[in-house]
Amino acid sequence: MTLTSPGPTVGVVGGGQLGRMLGEAAAPLGLELLVTDPTPDCPATPVVRDQIVGDFDDEATLRELAERADYLTFEIELADPDVLERVAEETGTPIHPAPETLRTIQDKLVQKRRLSNAGVPVPEFRAVDTAADLREACEELGYPAMLKARTGGYDGRGNIRVEGPEDVEDAVDDIAGPAMVEEMVDFERELAVMGCRGADERDTFPVTETIHREEILRESVAPARASKAVREHARDVAHDVLDVMDGRGVFGIELFETTDGEILLNEIAPRPHNSGHWTIEGCHTSQFEQHLRAVTGQPLGSTDQRFPTVSTNILGDVSERQPAALRGEDGILETPRAHLHWYGKREVYDLRKMGHVTLTADDRDGLLADARDLRDGLTFE
C-alpha cells in the first residue's frame, strides 16, 4: 500500500458502530473509509468520507462500493457472499475476510461442522428441522439445551433455552426456520479472543472475559480472570480457529471455559467484535486499526496490553422507542482514565447498544465494580 493524499480507500459493508470505530481508526493510517448502509446518515457518517445508501445485499450498491474503493471489507454478516465475491472479481477490488469465510460464518450449523471437522473443540450439537428432530436430539444431549436459528441471530435473538420436553413445540415455532441445538455447557466463564490474520502473520489479542446477561454482552474484563494455563489454552484454540478462516482481518472468537478447565468454541464473528472494544484504550493497537492493517496488507501492530481494562456496554433503558438523549455522562468525563464512546444512534429502545465506557487502571482489583458504577450512572429516561 502506498500512502497518498487523499489516501487509499477501504469500502466497508455496514455503517453502524463498528463502521464508526473503523473510521476513527482509519485516519491516522492515512486511509479513507466509504460505507454502505440502508439507514441514511448512519452512525459512521460523521467520521467517514461518504455513505452509499443501500441494502447490505444489493448488488448495485456493492458494485458501486467496489468501484470506488481500493479494498473491501464488512462489519456485518448480512452481506451476500456470492454478490461480494462477484463484484470483487469483476472490479478487481480485493475483499477481506474472504467471502468463503462469510459463507461459513453465516450458517451456525455449517460453522460448527467445519470447525469440528478441523479438530476445534465445540459443544455437542445436532441439526434440527422439526419438533421431532429437537425432541430426539434433546434425548441424546439432555435437558436443558440451547436451540439456535442457523442464520440471522445476534445479541441473544434466535437463541431459545429448551428446559424440558414441554418446551419443544413452542421453541421450534419461535425459531420458525432451520435450526441447530447444542448441549448446555456447564461453564466457569465466557471468554473471547480477538484473532488477527495478516498477509504473512497471525496474532491474538489478550484473552478477555466476557460477562453476559439475557445473552447480551454487558462487560469485558481484560486480562480474563482465569488461570494462565486456561488463557494459554484459549489462545491455542483461537489459533486453530484462524487456521480454518480464509482471508485477512480480525476475527471475534467466543469461547467457553468449562468447569473442568477445558475450552470450547461458541461462535465466530469475521470482523471486529464488541468483546474487543476495550483494545482501543487497553492495547498498543486497537482491534479496529488491526483490522484495517490486515485488510490493506500492512504489517500487523502490537497486540500487547498496556494496562488492565474493563469495558461496559451502554444499553437502552427505556420502555418505548424514543429519540436518544443520554444523561449522566459528566460522571464519566470527570473520572480519570475513563473513556466514553458514543455510537451516534438517533433512537434508543430497550437493550439497544448505544455506546460503551472503558476504564483502565494499574491493577485489576476493583476495576469491574468501578466501571459498573460509572455505567449505572447513565440513563436515557
Q: How far apart are CA 277 and CA 208, in angstroms?
A: 11
Amino acid code (one letter) for 232: E
For residues 19 and 12, the answer to whether their CB atoms sit within 8 Å is yes
CA-closest candidate to residue 252, choices 226, 233, 275: 275
User: What single DSSP character describes residue 41?
Assistant: T
The binding site for ATP comprises: 108, 148, 182-185, 190, 212, 266-267
Task: Tell me the angle at which helices 228-244 and 108-117 cross, rounded to the nearest 10 degrees.
Answer: 110
Q: Please check whether residue 125 is in contact with residue 107, taking contact to mean a CB–CB distance below 8 angstroms.
A: no
Nearest Cα neighbor of 347 from 43, 36, 21 is 43
Distance CA 151, CA 75 (A): 16
**Nearest Cα residue to 180 out of 129, 135, 143, 136:** 129
- Residues contacting 118, CB < 8 A, separation 6+: 240, 243, 244
How far is Cα 328 from Cα 272, in angstroms, rounded to an integer?
28
Which residues are known binding-site members? 108, 148, 182-185, 190, 212, 266-267
Spatial CA neighbour of 223 closest among 151, 282, 156, 301: 282
**How far is residue 167's CA from residue 176's CA, in Å, rounded to a whole number?**
14
Would you say 250 and 109 are in contact if contact means Cβ atoms under 8 Å apart? no
Query: Could you give the CA distance from residue 355 to residue 375 in angstroms, rounded to a whole number?
Result: 10
Q: Is the dihedral of CA 151, 101, 188, 285 positive or negative?
A: negative
C-alpha cell at 160: 431459545
- Cis (ω within 30 of 0) for the bond into 223? yes
Quote the CA–CA distance of 378 and 381 in Å, as a whole number: 9
Closest CA to 236 of 253, 221, 224, 222: 253
